[in-house]
């Protein structure tokens, strides 16, 4: 493969990784920012560090699924470049409009579109499995956040000293934010570098590059979506922040073990809905939930159509 092709693919992977950080970092620490425990900059620094660690230690199975499981053939490098660029553009636009969309859905939609346009075999069984997980992951996060909130609240009632209680809650929030960031790196960095595996480009330094790109996206442009997640769906207290972040971390990490790229955005909104049930359904911003849901449906469709159309124009 020409050196220029490798450079362009790495640039596209870095761009997609940057988009993951800019859009999905809010899902890891938006709750902590919303509860006013962490400033935005400190929260994003935490996300960047642990997402890189998650990418290095836990992303291998998702990379394999995105790289060779969706399209069951090696694609031309130009086709992969179009797919990655289309997915990244869709997520960038969503970030500009402050919508927490799914990079997983964007890259899966783009790979399906490019596979169909290039006449490559698309693995319907793998795709149906991924879509099925997308459907259940918000509900799973909802149940987990609801249970975690009540369970931890029950345990904390035994602590009588307010200072000790406050310090413990702060540490729980920090730990859950770090774990959520680790899960983001483990589950979603495959969206950025997975397509490179289709051409056999896999190594530790490429994974590190993707993790660094994710971290830079969190630090440079993650604030817009963070504000939506932190304050736009349901008001958060420290215990709510812990339950939300731990729920999405468990869901993201669990499916990373299974090699399934999920929507962390879907998981976090499901977790926030679980907190809304705790606090009463009137606290939930249904207008924001509808806007986010529209983004979920539109993201894979738009990314797929864009990749399909661009490849037909240039091929």
Q: What is the mean pLDDT of the chain?
A: 85
Residue 109, pLDDT score = 94
Q: What are the tens digits of pLDDT across the range 200-228?
A: 777 788 888 888 898 888 888 766 666 66
Q: What percent of the chain has pLDDT above 70? A: 88
Q: What are the tens digits of pLDDT across the range 285-309?
A: 666 666 666 767 788 999 999 999 9
Residue 160 has pLDDT above 60, yes or no: yes
Residue 34, pLDDT score = 67
Tell me which of 63-77, 221-235, 297-311 is least confident: 221-235
Reported confidence tier of residue 36, pLDDT bands at 50, 70, 90: confident
Q: Residue 151's CB: how many other CB atoms inside 10 A?
A: 11
Tell me which of 78-92, 104-118, 125-139, 285-299 is least confident: 285-299
Please name which of 250, 280, 256, 285 lies closest in space to residue 268, comparing C-alpha atoms.
Answer: 250
Residue 231, pLDDT score = 56
CA dist 28 and 186 (Å) reads 13
What are residue 71's DSSP bridge partners? 122
260 vs 289 pLDDT, higher one: 260
Residue 178, pLDDT score = 94
CA dist 311 and 288 (Å) reads 34
Whole-prediction pTM: 0.88
Residue 243, pLDDT score = 92
CA dist 70 and 190 (Å) reads 13
Token pair 């997983």 is at which residue? Answer: 104
Residue 250, pLDDT score = 97
Segment 156-165 mean pLDDT = 83
Q: What are the tens digits of pLDDT across the range 239-259?
A: 888 998 999 999 999 999 999
Segment 68-97 mean pLDDT = 89
Residue 233 has pLDDT above 60, yes or no: no
CA dist 92 and 89 (Å) reads 5
Residue 292, pLDDT score = 63
Segment 53-62 mean pLDDT = 92
Reported confidence tier of residue 271, pLDDT bands at 50, 70, 90: confident
Residue 180 has pLDDT above 70, yes or no: yes
Contact at 8 Å (CB) between 268 and 229? yes
Residue 158, pLDDT score = 84
Residue 234, pLDDT score = 55
Q: What percent of the chain has pLDDT above 90? A: 41
DSSP H helices, the chain, are 3-34, 40-58, 60-64, 77-96, 103-118, 124-156, 162-197, 204-221, 223-231, 238-257, 264-279, 286-314
Please name which of 262, 261, 266, 184 lies closest in space to residue 233, comparing C-alpha atoms.
Answer: 266
Both tokens of residue 225?
């979506």
Residue 229, pLDDT score = 59
Reported confidence tier of residue 87, pLDDT bands at 50, 70, 90: very high
Segment 5-24 mean pLDDT = 88
């Amino acid at each position: 493969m020409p050196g220029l092709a490798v450079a362009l693919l790495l640039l596209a992977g870095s761009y997609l990784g940057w988009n993951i950080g800019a859009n999905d970092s809010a899902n890891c620490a938006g709750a902590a920012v919303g509860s006013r425990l962490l400033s935005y900059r400190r929260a994003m620094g935490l996300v960047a560090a642990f997402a890189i660690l998650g990418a290095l230690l836990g992303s291998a199975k998702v990379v394999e699924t995105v790289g060779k499981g969706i399209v069951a053939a090696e694609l031309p490098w130009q086709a992969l470049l179009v797919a990655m660029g289309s997915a990244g553009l869709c997520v960038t636009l969503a970030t500009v409009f402050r919508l927490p969309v799914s990079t997983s859905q964007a890259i899966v939609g783009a790979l399906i579109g490019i596979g169909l346009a290039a006449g490559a075999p698309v693995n319907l069984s793998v795709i149906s499995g991924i879509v099925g997980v997308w459907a259940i992951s918000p509900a799973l996060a909802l149940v987990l956040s609801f249970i975690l909130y009540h369970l931890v609240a029950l345990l904390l009632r035994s602590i009588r000293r307010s200072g000790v209680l406050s310090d413990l809650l702060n540490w729980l929030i920090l730990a859950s934010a770090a774990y959520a960031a680790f899960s983001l790196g483990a589950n979603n960095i495959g969206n950025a570098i997975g397509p490179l595996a289709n051409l056999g480009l896999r190594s530790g330094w490429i994974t590190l590059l993707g993790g660094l790109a994710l971290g830079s996206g969190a630090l440079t442009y993650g604030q817009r979506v963070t504000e939506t997640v932190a304050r736009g769906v349901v008001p958060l207290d420290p215990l709510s922040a812990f339950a939300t972040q731990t729920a999405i971390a468990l869901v993201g990490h669990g499916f990373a073990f299974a090699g399934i790229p999920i929507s962390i955005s879907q998981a976090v909104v499901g977790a926030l809905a679980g907190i809304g049930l705790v606090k009463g359904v009137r606290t939930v911003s249904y207008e924001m939930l509808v806007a986010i849901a529209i983004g979920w449906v539109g993201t894979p469709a738009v990314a797929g159509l864009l990749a399909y159309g661009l490849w037909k124009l240039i091929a």
